[in-house]
Structure 1
Amino acid sequence: MIYTRKSDVTAGRVARSVGKPHATILDQHEILALGAEWEELAAHAVQENPYYTRRYVTAQLAYIERRPVQALAVWQDHKLIAFLPFVKDPWRWGGIVYVNKSWSTPYTTLSVPLIDARFAQSASTALLSAMASGLTGSSTWLLLDVTLKGSAFRHLHQAQTTLDLRSKTFDIFERATLSRSGTFDEHLKTHLSKNRRKSLNRNRRRLEEAGPLSLETYTEGEKLEEALQHFLRLEQSGWKGRSGTALASTPQTRAFAEMAFGNQPIGSPTNHTTETAKYLETRIDLLMLNDQPIAASVSVQAGRTAFTLKSAFDESYRHQSPGLLLEEAIIRSFLNGNWADRLDSAADAGHVLETLWNGTITVGDVLLTASQSNAKFLFGAFTFLETTRRMARQTMKQALRSLRR
């Protein structure tokens, strides 16, 4: 394995040795210089992660992120076979030792690295070896929001076992997912309570008394841009707008949304096919009443998995639950159509989609020491520090909630 502390980027290409796995650290400029190789890796990733795809990363770096972001990149000949963006957190444990954290923001819910399925195990081993090498200045890592039974972590865990490295998992929870199983009617009877079905039917009839009710879906072109503006308006008109957390609340977050979810060009990498260039796609579903949107859902689709990132509804219709009626319509479209194999709710535990969808995935944070030189005692100390930090944050949150009552 070869390591370098700085990549040599020329016309978007990183210098690397032919025939040998080659790990580099990329700074933000070098990350953005990647083109076709990044698109190809995303298209062949062993597990989909839309947040680490070229369009989404570019949008976040342009408008959201202010920390210096780097990435570990592993190459095999001329192919990028693993990619893990990260940030350094020197004060996480009071400056005792700094931690590398997989890159996450308020607009990401998954931080597994992109690993090429064609080189899955060798890429995973090379990535962990690079993490252990001291290339980044620290061999202690915190991987946030990892699907613990997903393909990417399974390969990393196998490599971890081979390399005899230590890890500890924190804050495990179940995230709602929807997989293709049975018909729409069978799904309703199996996974929705009788009271829920009656409530949805009653609210649908009430809305239909006011006019035609329909689902409209957009994935490209000017109609997608128009649908995105409908979503931004609905979100801004609700509680998120009042609290200042809607995407349209600031010029920066609006610009991020328009780049991440719209049709804005992000550059012109050469030598890539239409398939890989279009790997990350946006889908916006609108519930229409009298040809006006009263609920909207924004998803991004990577491969055959769609991640339902954002939703909003017109609060003047809140008593008719337009958001839930839109979710029901999306379930119908998903089960009756063939546009995805799985939906990921991108949500925390306790989300309402758990009562509507048919499955879950296990998610957690993983503390990893990637160096064998860290003895059991030292890793035990790291585990204690992280446990103490999380307990303190939880206690503080509970105290703040008590004060607000």
Structure 2
Amino acid sequence: MPGAGTGDTEQAAPGRSVSQMVTGAILSSDDIGDAEVRAWSALADRALEPNPFVRPEFVLSNAKASGEAAALLVVREGSHWLALLPVGVGKRWRRTPLPCLIPWLPELAYSATPLIDRDAPGPAIAGLLDLLAAERWSAALVLHPFDPTGPVGAALTTNLGLRSIAPYVYADFERAAIRRRPENTYLSESLSSAGRKKLRSRKRALGRELGGDLVVVDRSTEPAAWDAFLAMEHAGWKGEQGTALASDSRDAAFFRIMCGGMAAGGRLQLLALEGAGRTVAMQCNLVDGSSLYAFKVAYDEAFARFSPGALLEVEAIELFHDGLGQVELLDSCADPDNALVNRIWPDRRRLQTLVIPTGAPGARLIRPAMGVEVAVRRVIRARRAARAA
């Protein structure tokens, strides 16, 4: 595989109690065994910034279901893993005619923050950058979406500066989020009193329609509920557009395997909004460390006039504040332009598409190539806006 032939890089690990060297390599997810998976899981559990989308339960579920291996940037100290990031290896990225290490599974993985050992962040990030410096085929690593304000972002920025490496910020955007407050004031901050009253009215009306009070139930440990979510999502507009998970048998298989793995570790939340035995909306959330990611949502379109999806969003926020005390951040995983989520969720999380040049000969062309790509993107957007006007 291009990009996997960089060979191991080595460095000393200052301040570490063990004497082994820190090494870096690009591995294939197909080639790792049980011992490596255990080391990966242990790293995910002690990550400086936990990320469910790069845990083995997520990455290996997709590899198994799709039959397509992920390339893994790995930094190790003996059998002890210090850093990991799954990537794709592409001959180009978007309209940039240069080979790149590209975002892995961008349609499903809503965070590209690498796993960094919180006990050795310096050697971990240095090891990743050494891997990139040794790369001779891919001209850049593309991180998308990446939080530049978190602890990993801060450490990466510092280490890039020490090496005089200037990454290219291809995009800088925000998506809806919620940060914990001492009091449950989230909805009063985001919605007017009239808006909150309308949601309460719709909740009562939906209960009457169903013939029973609405309740929220966590069905994360029920395989039948995983299938129910797939069916509900596929029955709606996502199914019509072919973007539902069940539109592709491989994606559906991934979802089932992933749910099993995440549920076994207590990292899955599958909320169902129910009334009189009927489920009208579902939300699949991934919990890791102090963050919760709203991975996927679905609702029964037969009840669309009651806004069941919005009602479940409100109930999920209540559950976050009252029942998930360890969680400090809710990430909506929504498109930045999602009007419904932006209206209900009061905070925003800053994210970037960050392009980091490697040691490959083509890396010197990355910045001008990205500049052209951004300019072309602006022209296309302007023309679309003009046609829509």
TM range (shorter): 0.7 to 0.9
- d(CA) in 1 for partners of 2:262, 2:298: 23
1:293-337 per-position Cα deviation (integer Å, ceiling 9, x unaligned): 000000111122111011111111111101111011011111112
1:37 deviates by: 0.3
- d(CA) in 2 for partners of 1:94, 1:128: 25
What is the aligned partner in structure 2 of residue 78 from structure 1?
79
- d(CA) in 2 for partners of 1:389, 1:116: 34
1:338 deviates by: 2.7
Runs of 4+ in 1 over 6 A off after TM superposition: 400-405
SS in 2 for 1:83: strand
CA distance 1:112–1:395, shift in 2 (3 Å):
same
Aligned residues between the structures: 372
What is the aligned partner in structure 2 of residue 392 from structure 1?
376
CA distance 1:144–1:4, shift in 2 (3 Å):
same
SS in 1 for 2:309: helix
Pairwise CA RMSD: 2.9
1:92 deviates by: 3.6
1:174 deviates by: 0.8
What is the aligned partner in structure 1 of residue 256 from structure 2?
258
Retained in 2: the 8 A contact 1:81–1:115? yes
- d(CA) in 2 for partners of 1:18, 1:26: 23
Structure 1 residue runs of 5 or longer lacking an equivalent are 8-16, 266-276
CA distance 1:5–1:259, shift in 2 (3 Å):
same
Structure 2 residue corresponding to 1:344, chosen from 322, 331, 334: 331
What is the aligned partner in structure 1 of residue 283 from structure 2?
297
1:366-397 per-position Cα deviation (integer Å, ceiling 9, x unaligned): 111244x989xx74x42231232244356556
- d(CA) in 2 for partners of 1:94, 1:199: 45
Amino acid at match of 2:45: A
Amino acid at match of 1:362: R
SS in 2 for 1:158: helix
- d(CA) in 1 for partners of 2:5, 2:41: 23
- d(CA) in 2 for partners of 1:315, 1:370: 48
- d(CA) in 2 for partners of 1:143, 1:294: 36
Asked if residue 329 in structure 1 is aligned to residue 315 in structure 2, the reply is yes
Within a 5 Å distance, the mapping from 1:20-35 to structure 2 comes to 20-31=21-32, 34-35=36-37
What is the aligned partner in structure 2 of residue 56 from structure 1?
58
What is the aligned partner in structure 2 of residue 356 from structure 1?
344
Deviates more, 1:313-322 or 1:22-31: 22-31
What is the TM-score normalised by the length of structure 2?
0.86
CA distance 1:264–1:181, shift in 2 (3 Å):
closer
Amino acid at match of 2:63: L
Retained in 2: the 8 A contact 1:31–1:71? no
- d(CA) in 2 for partners of 1:250, 1:368: 33
- d(CA) in 2 for partners of 1:40, 1:263: 15
What is the aligned partner in structure 1 of residue 235 from structure 2?
237
Retained in 1: the 8 A contact 2:6–2:134? no
Amino acid at match of 1:218: R
What is the TM-score normalised by the length of structure 1?
0.83
Amino acid at match of 1:366: L
Retained in 2: the 8 A contact 1:219–1:281? no
- d(CA) in 2 for partners of 1:322, 1:29: 41
Deviates more, 1:102-111 or 1:91-100: 91-100
1:404 deviates by: 9.4
Retained in 1: the 8 A contact 2:98–2:139? no
What is the aligned partner in structure 1 of residue 190 from structure 2?
191
1:41-62 per-position Cα deviation (integer Å, ceiling 9, x unaligned): 0001111211110011011112
1:85 deviates by: 1.7
CA distance 1:229–1:104, shift in 2 (3 Å):
closer
Retained in 1: the 8 A contact 2:39–2:81? yes
1:78 deviates by: 2.7
Asked if residue 116 in structure 1 is aligned to residue 114 in structure 2, the reply is no
Identity %: 23
Asked if residue 147 in structure 1 is aligned to residue 147 in structure 2, the reply is yes
- d(CA) in 2 for partners of 1:119, 1:398: 46
SS in 2 for 1:117: coil
Asked if residue 383 in structure 1 is aligned to residue 367 in structure 2, the reply is yes
Within a 5 Å distance, the mapping from 1:130-145 to structure 2 comes to 130-134=131-135, 137-145=137-145
- d(CA) in 2 for partners of 1:192, 1:394: 33
What is the aligned partner in structure 2 of residue 42 from structure 1?
44
Retained in 2: the 8 A contact 1:305–1:344? yes
- d(CA) in 2 for partners of 1:327, 1:93: 34
What is the aligned partner in structure 2 of residue 306 from structure 1?
292
Retained in 1: the 8 A contact 2:146–2:352? yes
Amino acid at match of 2:46: H
1:69 deviates by: 3.0
1:219 deviates by: 3.1
Deviates more, 1:393-402 or 1:27-36: 393-402
Structure 2 residue runs of 5 or longer lacking an equivalent are 9-17
Asked if residue 247 in structure 1 is aligned to residue 245 in structure 2, the reply is yes
1:214 deviates by: 1.0
SS in 2 for 1:160: helix
Within a 5 Å distance, the mapping from 1:266-281 to structure 2 comes to 278=265, 281=267
Asked if residue 316 in structure 1 is aligned to residue 318 in structure 2, the reply is no
1:175 deviates by: 1.5
Retained in 2: the 8 A contact 1:32–1:58? no
- d(CA) in 2 for partners of 1:359, 1:32: 41
